[in-house]
A and B are shown apart, each in its own frame.
Chain A
Amino acid sequence: MATRADGTETRGDGAVTTGQTASDRSPTVTLQLWRGDASGGAFRDYTVENLGGEVVLDVVHRIQAELAPDLAVRWNCKAGKCGSCSAEINGRPRLMCMTRMSTLDTTQPITVSPLRANPVIRDLVTDVSYNFAVARRIPAFTPGPREADGTYRMSQVDVDRVQEFRKCIECFLCQNVCHVARDHEENKPHFAGPRFFARLAELEMHPLDVLDRRDLASRGLGIGYCNITKCCTEVCPEGIHITDNAIIPMKERVVDARYDPIAWLGRKILRRPSPTPAAETAALAPAARTNEVISVEPRVPPGE
């Protein structure tokens, strides 16, 4: 936290803490909500009582119940765990359920608008299908064989980093704020975005995974477009170090694989069997529904 000249405090995410109490809280609060659809729209003012102890999503819900029953908004858990209620609050990408009203200046109208990088469906709801399409392009986790005793062994230190990436709640705030796609729709077909670079890193660093996705990261998913401005890391509500822990190491691995002349020579001379390039299996991924039967019979026969 830093204290500003006017006595208010700013947090790391730029929100202002006014430390307001019931006595100095403004009696009402005005939310300027973007209302509209793909054909266009505008901000509309909704003024409701300022009850205190609320997050932005609580106020949006009251507006729905009292003033605008058809206001479109996505939300699920209201506890910062599902990543559904992403929006831009006073222009900053945030989760509505994790943004307390007391951190905002309620004497001024507060704007709430849909994520700008996505096509609008209606009001605060946007089309996030791009993310689901990218997810399908990443080849699944592919483990090596089990130990002789039938288990997989991994040390906690070896999975700490992987677990950091798996904290991702897929709110897609990082996808929204990444300027490679935010201002350049034309980049989307060959750019996966920070969420999926973290997913690639997670698979790449998984101690059991045997697939090589470095070529895909570079050629198919455009990790080279990232110029490390760390916007994604700044907005991550889970505090995942997307740039430092995922993207930069992935960039290094891609460079190692493609440009290291000694490694290249070594591969030529020694002809070490290289891991399966993921680009090949990527094309096959959705069709991977072979005859594989996953069922494992119970260890103890039923009825015993």
Chain B
Amino acid sequence: MTDYETHNFDVVVIGAGGAGLRAAIEASALGARTAIVCKSLLGKAHTVMAEGGVAAALGNVWPEDNWKVHFRDTMRGGKMLNNWRMAQLHAQEAPDRVLELEEWGAVFDRTPDGRILQRDFGGHRYARLAHVGDRTGLELLRTCQQRAVSLGIEVFMECKILRLLQDSSGTVSGAVGFWRESGKPVAFGAKSVVLASGGVGKTWKFTSNSWEGTGDGHALALWAGADMIDMECVQFHPTGMVWPPSARGILVTEGVRGDGGVLRNSDGERFMFRYIPDFYAKETADSIEEADQWYENKTDFRRPPELLPRDEVARSINAEVKGGRGSPHGGVFLDIASRRSPEYIKRRLPSMYHQFKELADVDITKEPMEIGPTCHYIMGGIRVDADTAATTVPGLYAAGEVAGGMHGANRLGGNSLSDLLVFGRRAGRYAAENALGTPGAVTVDSSQVDATMQAALEPFGRETAENPYSVHHELQETMQSLVGIIRTESELIEAKEKLVELDERAAAVGVEGHRQFNPGWHLALDLQSMLAVAHCTTLSAIERKESRGGHTRDDYPTADPALGTVNMVTRLVGSAVTVTPEPLPVMPDELKALFEDGH
């Protein structure tokens, strides 16, 4: 029998980023006894990394803006694969969520008449992003954190959740995990559990995500029997830094290419000229001489091929790396240093220059950057009811990046922070209502706690076995090269087979030392979550035989209208993940009309 402590609540929220905090604030305000459980310290969640802003049709800068325009932008950005109702609720409620933050102490940048300033962003028709310089995520997180503290919500920090607890009918009754500090087990009894655990980036080699982005919530839901949707829809940025390590994962703006930066392979060749698709041939320069004149004279000359659309650039980089002509660390070179004067670069790209100098001691005026496709965000996730954020498992709710549907096949910048607030609140509200409407006391089933903890401790008995870091490394390599930004059937099948082998290796890893704050052990357990995510993504990617949004198939380069009406649903059947296409919710006619009236 495992000796463990137990804490009982009405609502337990797993994750303390924007969505988790917002859910807890709502549940607590509605009178539910609420706790937050998080893997790091409070206030450190990946939400702090969001720079751009919160998208909300406040209409402070453009009075013409309203929820219908925001809704349309979001659906179009998502290539119409979004859950229409989520996109609608999101666009309708985001302004109130932003104003509420201000009431809790957030200090957004101001318009001249003293209201919240809004900025332009890609895919948004009007300047719509409420922001605080380039640290909007921190402002949002700190505001919600301070609000949660003032409401007296209990926060259990540095606690890793291993499994959800369920009663005999499958209804969620809590969660079991351990304190990272001591390695000792802890059980939470709850009438409702909200998953708000964020993303999955650590499954790939190059990512902008922190160590926490291991897909824990995705895996917990999957193991509890929940449906996942569209896990193939992952957002990659074609030009993230792959070297040096201090800058790995930082995204390099397209502006570098717009201002004269070119892509080169290991032979120094400006390779993009070999990859101009017929579709763009008319408007793209086919010689270095012509391309180089475009920067000065955009009317008489055609655009350089470095400025082809994002997926074309990504495809070309991918082909060079796979053809053995990549940079030493698995990317290609982005060179502006040899093409523009240091003064010009510093004037045109001041923040890029300073960021690389400060963080990596890379002088972009003197040396080329090593860049490659970088995993940034997952649009797919746990299938939820749009209004209530309820998953397909009773008592289980999900919000934020861990939930799927809101962003369809591609997410617009700024829509993530607003997503956290809108659906964080909804998840908290309906989780609280469910808990308060469920009579009786919560009970924790000791046998589930025992079994979970026993399995978690197994790596300690295998000290001479393979180290979890090497299995993680290989998983990342596999996903990066075979299930990365550009995909193809044969490679996906290869990945699927490789994952089976990695499952076996991950189940046999050994860890050294003892249970107290042991990162090797934590990684061994996080690996299980990452592998669950990897299976879902790979299977869905095989099944979606088209290119749409963040999912690009080399062997099916265009969108297939028939596949645009289905979600790829992954779920656990027995011990295996299966994938099934299932129809998308159908948009009502009055909303469909928004896409037909010439806008």
In whole Å, how far is B15's beta carbon from the nearest beta carbon of chain A?
Answer: 13
Whether A153 lies near B26 (C-beta < 8 A) is: no
Report Cα–Cα, A267/B359, bound state, in Å. 53
Given A135-B149, A140-B105, A287-B152, answer yes or no on A70-B512 (Cβ-Cβ < 8 Å): yes
Given A82-B48, A159-B107, A295-B26, answer yes or no on A121-B517 (Cβ-Cβ < 8 Å): yes
Residues of chain B within 8 A (CB-CB) of A253 are: none
Whether A294 lies near B110 (C-beta < 8 A) is: no
Give residues 96-113 of B contacting A (CB, 8 Å).
96, 99-100, 102-105, 107, 109-110, 113
Residue of A at shortest CB range from B422? Answer: A298
Query: Which of the 9-residue segments A105-113, A166-174, A184-192, A228-236 touches chain B?
Result: A166-174
Query: Which of the 9-residue segments B27-35, B224-232, B305-313 touches chain A?
Result: B27-35
Residues of chain A within 8 A (CB-CB) of B210 are: 75-78, 82
Give residues 257-304 of A contacting B (CB, 8 Å).
285-289, 291-296, 298-300, 302, 304
Q: Is A115 on the interface with B (CB-CB < 8 A)?
A: no
Residues of chain B within 8 A (CB-CB) of A72 are: 516-519
Residues of chain B within 8 A (CB-CB) of A132 are: 42, 155
Query: Which of the 9-residue segments B87-95, B256-264, B288-296, B439-447 touches chain A?
Result: B87-95
In whole Å, how far is B342's beta carbon from the nearest beta carbon of chain A?
Answer: 17
Q: Is B346 on the interface with A (CB-CB < 8 A)?
A: no
Q: Is B167 on the interface with A (CB-CB < 8 A)?
A: no
Whether B67 lies near A80 (C-beta < 8 A) is: no
Whether B93 lies near A169 (C-beta < 8 A) is: no
Whether B518 lies near A79 (C-beta < 8 A) is: no
Whether B512 lies near A155 (C-beta < 8 A) is: no
Q: Which of A125, A294, A300 contacts B100 (CB 8 A)?
A: A294
Whether A69 lies near B46 (C-beta < 8 A) is: no
Whether A154 lies near B211 (C-beta < 8 A) is: no
Whether B48 lies near A74 (C-beta < 8 A) is: no
Given A166-B139, A169-B48, A298-B89, answer yes or no on A79-B250 (Cβ-Cβ < 8 Å): yes
Residues of chain A within 8 A (CB-CB) of B43 are: 82-83, 170
Residues of chain A within 8 A (CB-CB) of B200 are: none
Whether B512 lies near A294 (C-beta < 8 A) is: no
Q: Is B573 on the interface with A (CB-CB < 8 A)?
A: no
Residues of chain B within 8 A (CB-CB) of A75 are: 210-211
Report Cα–Cα, A125/B516, bound state, in Å. 11
Q: Is A45 on the interface with B (CB-CB < 8 A)?
A: no
Q: Is B330 on the interface with A (CB-CB < 8 A)?
A: no
Q: Is B150 on the interface with A (CB-CB < 8 A)?
A: yes
Whether A69 lies near B361 (C-beta < 8 A) is: no
Q: Which of A77, A153, A289 contacts B152 (CB 8 A)?
A: A289
Whether B469 lies near A64 (C-beta < 8 A) is: yes
Whether A69 lies near B138 (C-beta < 8 A) is: no
Q: Is A44 on the interface with B (CB-CB < 8 A)?
A: no
Interface residues of B (CB under 8 A from A): 25-26, 28-31, 40-46, 48-49, 67, 88-89, 92-93, 95-96, 99-100, 102-105, 107, 109-110, 113-115, 132-133, 135, 138-139, 142, 146-147, 149-152, 155, 181, 210-212, 243-247, 249-250, 358-362, 387, 425, 429, 467-469, 473, 511-514, 516-521, 590
Q: Which of B26, B95, B133, B150 contacts A299 (CB 8 A)?
A: B95
In whole Å, how far is B429's beta carbon from the nearest beta carbon of chain A?
Answer: 7
Report Cα–Cα, A125/B182, bound state, in Å. 12
Whether B28 lies near A289 (C-beta < 8 A) is: yes
Residues of chain A within 8 A (CB-CB) of B521 are: 70
In whole Å, how far is B341's beta carbon from the nearest beta carbon of chain A?
Answer: 22
Report Cα–Cα, A169/B388, bound state, in Å. 33
Report Cα–Cα, A150/B100, bound state, in Å. 11
Given A74-B41, A79-B359, answer yes or no on A140-B147 (Cβ-Cβ < 8 Å): yes
Whether A141 lies near B146 (C-beta < 8 A) is: yes
A sample of 6 inter-chain contacts (CB < 8 A) reads A51-B244, A70-B512, A73-B519, A167-B138, A169-B138, A289-B151
Given A77-B210, A299-B92, answer yes or no on A155-B110 (Cβ-Cβ < 8 Å): yes
Whether B244 lies near A54 (C-beta < 8 A) is: yes
Whether A69 lies near B249 (C-beta < 8 A) is: no
Whether A77 lies near B92 (C-beta < 8 A) is: no
Residues of chain B within 8 A (CB-CB) of A52 are: 244
In whole Å, how far is B354's beta carbon from the nearest beta carbon of chain A?
Answer: 12
Residues of chain B within 8 A (CB-CB) of A302 are: 88-89, 92, 387
Q: Is A102 on the interface with B (CB-CB < 8 A)?
A: yes
**Chain A interface mostly:** loop
Besides A54-B246, A70-B511, A294-B100, 5 more A-B contacts (Cβ < 8 Å) are A69-B467, A77-B48, A81-B138, A159-B107, A159-B110
Report Cα–Cα, A181/B303, bound state, in Å. 61
Residue of A at shortest CB range from B516? Answer: A122
Report Cα–Cα, A153/B113, bound state, in Å. 7
Closest 6 CB pairs of A and B: A53-B244, A70-B513, A69-B520, A141-B105, A153-B114, A140-B150
Chain A 141-173 near chain B by CB (<8 Å), digits 1 or 0: 101000000111111100100110011111000
Residues of chain A within 8 A (CB-CB) of B249 are: 78-79
Q: Is A71 on the interface with B (CB-CB < 8 A)?
A: yes
Whether A77 lies near B49 (C-beta < 8 A) is: yes
Residue of A at shortest CB range from B117? Answer: A156
Residues of chain A within 8 A (CB-CB) of B45 are: 76, 82
Whether A125 lies near B517 (C-beta < 8 A) is: yes
Residues of chain A within 8 A (CB-CB) of B133 are: 163
Report Cα–Cα, A166/B43, bound state, in Å. 13
Report Cα–Cα, A49/B359, bound state, in Å. 20
Report Cα–Cα, A98/B360, bound state, in Å. 9
In whole Å, how far is B197's beta carbon from the nearest beta carbon of chain A?
Answer: 14
Whether B26 lies near A156 (C-beta < 8 A) is: no
Given A76-B211, A135-B149, answer yes or no on A82-B516 (Cβ-Cβ < 8 Å): no
Residues of chain A within 8 A (CB-CB) of B513 are: 69-70
Report Cα–Cα, A154/B109, bound state, in Å. 9
In whole Å, how far is A245's beta carbon from the nearest beta carbon of chain B?
Answer: 15
Given A136-B149, A141-B146, answer yes or no on A100-B246 (Cβ-Cβ < 8 Å): yes
Chain A 59-75 near chain B by CB (<8 Å), digits 1 or 0: 00000110001111111
Whether A296 lies near B100 (C-beta < 8 A) is: yes
Residue of A at shortest CB range from B470? Answer: A65
Residues of chain B within 8 A (CB-CB) of A248 are: none
Residue of A at shortest CB range from B520? Answer: A69
Residues of chain B within 8 A (CB-CB) of A213 are: none
Whether B142 lies near A298 (C-beta < 8 A) is: no
Q: Is A58 on the interface with B (CB-CB < 8 A)?
A: yes
Whether A37 lies near B114 (C-beta < 8 A) is: no
Q: Is A128 on the interface with B (CB-CB < 8 A)?
A: yes
Whether B512 lies near A69 (C-beta < 8 A) is: yes
Give residues 218-234 of A contacting B (CB, 8 Å).
none
